[in-house]
Structure 1
Amino acid sequence: MRAGTLLFRRLGLAVCLLTTPIHAATANPTRAMQAFADNCFRPTMTAARAKSVLPHAGTRYDFYDLDPFVRSNAPSPALKRAVTPNTDRRCEVSFDGIATDAAAKAAARGLRQEGIRKSAPIPPAYANINGATFVGARQLNPRRVAVVIVGTRAGPNGVETYMTVERLRPTGGN
């Protein structure tokens, strides 16, 4: 009888654990930051890949690519926020809470991993973004610049940290 009672208790605990909803409080910012660093700077990133590697429990993401690097990939529209003027790609993760120092370090790591090192002037439109703790621009090639932004803003559950990279459209004459 004792073994049967123990079995029922264990089954009850397992059922409770399996049916407990996952809330935003279970977000894993470290995994979200790592996913951003490992994927958002890749020129071959696609909407399908973004959907499979960026979301984690309690995290949110946004991705669009209006002019894919790999021509066989179809363009993907913006998911959440409107397309930023003068950009053709955005890759972003956000999560509840404030973790801007760690997020900025992860973004820098992602740039290094992809070999993106050459600084570029920060475009005027990105100079004074409310809540941004880091804004940097990197030259991708002679005609393209990427702008990386890390900061905080109002999210669905209070303050959230966000990490964004936007690729600017080529400008004439460069």
Structure 2
Amino acid sequence: MWAAQFYKYKRPRQWLTSGGLGAMGFGLPAAIGAAVANPDSIVVDIDGDGSFIMNVQELATISVEKLPIKILLLNNQHLGMVVQWEDRFYKANRAHTYLGNPSNESEIFPNMLQFADACGIPAARVTKKQDLKAAIQKMLDTPGPYLLDVIVPHQEHVLPMIPSGGAFKDVITEGDGRSSY
């Protein structure tokens, strides 16, 4: 959903999305299909950590099939869109949407770099905004598959959004539903 806000595509079939319709796990398999269908194109899966981890085993497919998929992982240690609903409609009451280790919240868990390493895929992590541009360039310049784990704050919300059971006329365009942080 973040990428949909900013990505400027120039031709049909250059942009594949689930449209935020609750299809967690869509990104990586869609990228595999796009890479197989377009072997001469750069394919980038821009994915959240919750969605990515639902099909993390497909890193093995990417490696074995030598698919040059670039994975830009927006890692907020939460099921981001679900957290947004919890914040907006349920007073930030969390229902198992934190993906990290509750015993050590300063630790990045699970370690996505180790998943990539286990499948022989180069990977890097970015924790500072000023390092992002160079890290993306390195990802794009590296032959074959690559995983870039970008740590982002879970407090960021994606807008606009349509509430459950709502219609387009009910679209929410501002605020995050929280009274405190």
Pick the structure with greater CA Rg: 1
The alignment's TM-score, normalised by the length of structure 2, stands at 0.27
As a proportion of its length, which structure holds more strand? 1
The alignment's TM-score, normalised by the length of structure 1, stands at 0.28
